[in-house]
A and B are shown apart, each in its own frame.
Chain A
C-alpha cells in the first residue's frame, strides 16, 4: 500500500490540472462518503430520534456520558474484543498451519487450493444461515448428530448464551481462515531459499528454522492478516444478524449490532451513532497502527 510512492518514479503530467480532472469524479464520490460521515458525527451530539425527526436538539456530550455510564455499552465493548481477538488468533494459527501443509506440491494441491476460495466468495449472511442449520439444537442439527456418534451430548450452540459466542467464532473461522491461508501461502512461496540452505548446512532442526527464519520472514504477512481480520471482526455484523441478532440474553451483542438496535430498532439515532463513532475510532486506530507496522515490516 504505502510502498507505491517509493517504488515508482512518476511521469510528469502533460498539464497540471489533468490529474485532478481525472480524479475528480472519484473525488465527488469521496465527498459523498465524507458528508454522511460528518453528519453522523454531528448526530452523536444531538437527541435525534427517528420517530421525531423535526425536533433535533444539540445536547452536547449527554449521549456520550450516558452511554459510557451504561453497563450494556461496556459489555458490548468487551464482547467485541473477545470475539475479535479470538478469531484473529485462531485464524492466524490455523491459517499458517494449513498453509504450511499446502506449500509443497503434491498431486491435487492445486485443486485443494482452489477450494479455499469457496467459503470466502459465499455471502457471509448465507454462510451464517448455512451454519444456523448445521448448528440446530438437539439432534436435529447435523453437527450434534455427528458429535453424538462419538458420544458427545447435544449442544444448544446458538440457542445458549454460554455457547453462542463460540458458535459465532466457529462461523467466522469457517468463512475467513481461507483468507489467512491464501496470504500465508503467497508469503511462503516467495520466501528466499538461501537462508534455509545455509541453516541446513549448519544442521539446524526444522523447528529451529521455522522459529528463526520462517516466522520473522513472514512478519509482513502476519501483520497483514491481523490488520484485515482484526478490523473486519471488530465490525462484524452480517453473521450475527443472520443467526442470533445479538442474543440470547445479549451473549453476542457486539458494538456494531448494538448500534443497529439503538438507531434503527429503538429509533435513537443519536445514541446509535455514539456506538458507531466509538467503533470507528477503534477501527481507525488499529488500522492506522497496523498498516504502519506493515510498512515497517516490509522495509526490514
Chain B
C-alpha cells in the first residue's frame, strides 16, 4: 500500500514536471535570448551558457533612429505608445457603453432582451475577418483607416460583448434584496445603481477592465487590417523584427519580454477572475 502511494507520487511529480517544463520552457528560452549579444543569439547550435547583456533592450528603447547600423529598424517605443493609447481608449469606451447595458440586462426584464444579449455573444464566435473586411471597405470610404478613433471603434468588437456578458453576471450576483430594500427606502434606480450596485460590483468591474485591456492589447488581426504606419501596434510591429533582409532575434526577444511583462503583472492581480472572464461568465470559477 505504501509503495504504491509513493509510486503514484513520483508519477504525479513527473507528470507535472513535464507539463510545466513544456509550458514555461519557451518563455525562459526567450528571456535568455533577450539577454544575449548579437553573436550568441545566432550561434548554432544554440548556447545555453553566455554572458548576459542588456544591449537588445537598449537598442529597442532607442526606437527607429538609435545606432546607425540598420537604416530602418522597428520603432518599438512608438508601437508601445500606440498600443497603450488604443487599448486604454477601447476599454474606456467599452466601459461607458457597456456598464449600463450590463446592468439593465441583469436587473430589468424587457422585450428582445435575450435576443440582444445573444446577438452580442454570437460575435464572440464569429471569424474576425467576416466583420473586419467589410469594415475595412467602410473605413476606407469615410477615412478611418489608420486612425486611433477608427481602431478604438473597431476594437469594441473585442471588448464590448465580453464586458457586457461578464459584468451582467457580476450585477446578477448582487442579492436583489439589498437593491429592493434601498428602493423601499426611497432611492431612485439611479441612486440604487450608483450607491449600491456599482460599489458592490467594483471588484468584478476591475477584473473586467484589466482583462479587456489585455484582450485589446493582444489583438493582432484588427490592427493589421484597419491600422497602418501611424497607428501600428506592438503585435504588428513585433513582426518587423523578422524581415526578409535581416532577422533581429535578440531584439525580437527583448520586445517580446517588454510586451508581455506588464500584462502578466496585470493578469496576476485578477487571476481569481480569469476562468470567469475567459468563459464569458459561463463558469463562475
Contacts and interface: CB of A to CB of B under 8 A. Distances in A.
Interface of A: 1, 4-5, 7-14, 16, 18-20, 22-23, 25-27, 29-30, 32-37, 39-40, 43, 53, 94, 97-98, 101-102, 112, 114-127, 129-134, 138-142, 145, 148, 174, 177-179, 182-183, 186-187, 221, 224, 228, 231, 234-235, 237-238, 241-242, 255-256, 259-260, 263-264, 269, 272-273, 276-277, 279-280, 283-284, 287, 294
Contacts of B206: none
B53 interface: no
A119 B23 contact: yes
Nearest to B265: A121
Given A23-B101, A126-B256, A129-B242, A11 B44 contact: no
B134 A43 contact: yes
B92 interface: no
A283 B217 CA distance: 24
Contact of B45 (A33, A125, A140): A140
Contacts of B267: 117-118, 121
B153 A126 contact: no
Nearest to A5: B114
Contact of A273 (B101, B126, B133): B133
Given A179-B278, A186-B275, A260-B129, A11 B108 contact: yes
A257 to B, nearest CB: 10
Contact of B239 (A94, A129, A183): A129
A26 B283 contact: no
Contacts of A94: 19
B281 A116 contact: no
A5 B108 CA distance: 11
Contact of B129 (A27, A34, A276): A276
Interface stretch (B27-35, B60-68, B71-79): B27-35
Contacts of A145: 45-46
Nearest to A259: B129
B120 interface: yes
B282 interface: yes
Contacts of B97: 25-26, 29
Interface string B224-236: 1100000000110
A284 B256 CA distance: 34
A118 B179 contact: no
B103 interface: yes
B188 A14 contact: yes
A279 B127 contact: yes
Contacts of B242: 129, 132
Given A26-B98, A294-B282, A279 B130 contact: yes
Contacts of B135: 36
Contact of A256 (B129, B156, B253): B129
Nearest to B192: A11
B121 A30 contact: no
A139 B80 CA distance: 33
B120 to A, nearest CB: 7
B91 interface: no
Secondary structure at the A interface, as helix, strand, loop or mixed, is helix
B126 A124 contact: no
Query: Which of B117, B134, B221 gathers the greatest number of chain A CB atoms within 10 Å?
Result: B134
Nearest to A122: B260
Contact of B16 (A20, A36, A112, A119): A112
Contact of A235 (B16, B127, B281): B127
29 contacts: A1-B281, A4-B169, A8-B106, A11-B108, A13-B109, A18-B189, A19-B109, A26-B120, A26-B160, A30-B116, A32-B153, A33-B123, A40-B130, A101-B15, A114-B271, A122-B263, A123-B234, A126-B235, A129-B239, A133-B33, A133-B252, A134-B26, A140-B46, A148-B45, A234-B127, A235-B127, A277-B130, A280-B130, A287-B122
Given A119-B23, A121-B214, A242-B239, A11 B107 contact: yes
Given A129-B238, A129-B256, A260-B129, A23 B104 contact: yes
Given A125-B235, A126-B235, A264-B225, A11 B104 contact: no
Interface string B40-72: 001011100000000000000000000000000
B152 to A, nearest CB: 12
A7 B239 CA distance: 47
Contacts of A123: 217-220, 234-235, 259-260
Nearest to B163: A26
B113 to A, nearest CB: 7
B283 A40 contact: no
B70 to A, nearest CB: 19
B84 to A, nearest CB: 14
Given A26-B116, A179-B278, A235-B128, 14 more contacts: A11-B180, A13-B110, A13-B189, A19-B104, A25-B101, A39-B138, A53-B137, A115-B23, A118-B23, A130-B26, A183-B275, A238-B220, A273-B134, A287-B125
The 3 closest A-B pairs by CB, nearest first: A26-B101, A22-B104, A123-B218
Contacts of B96: 25
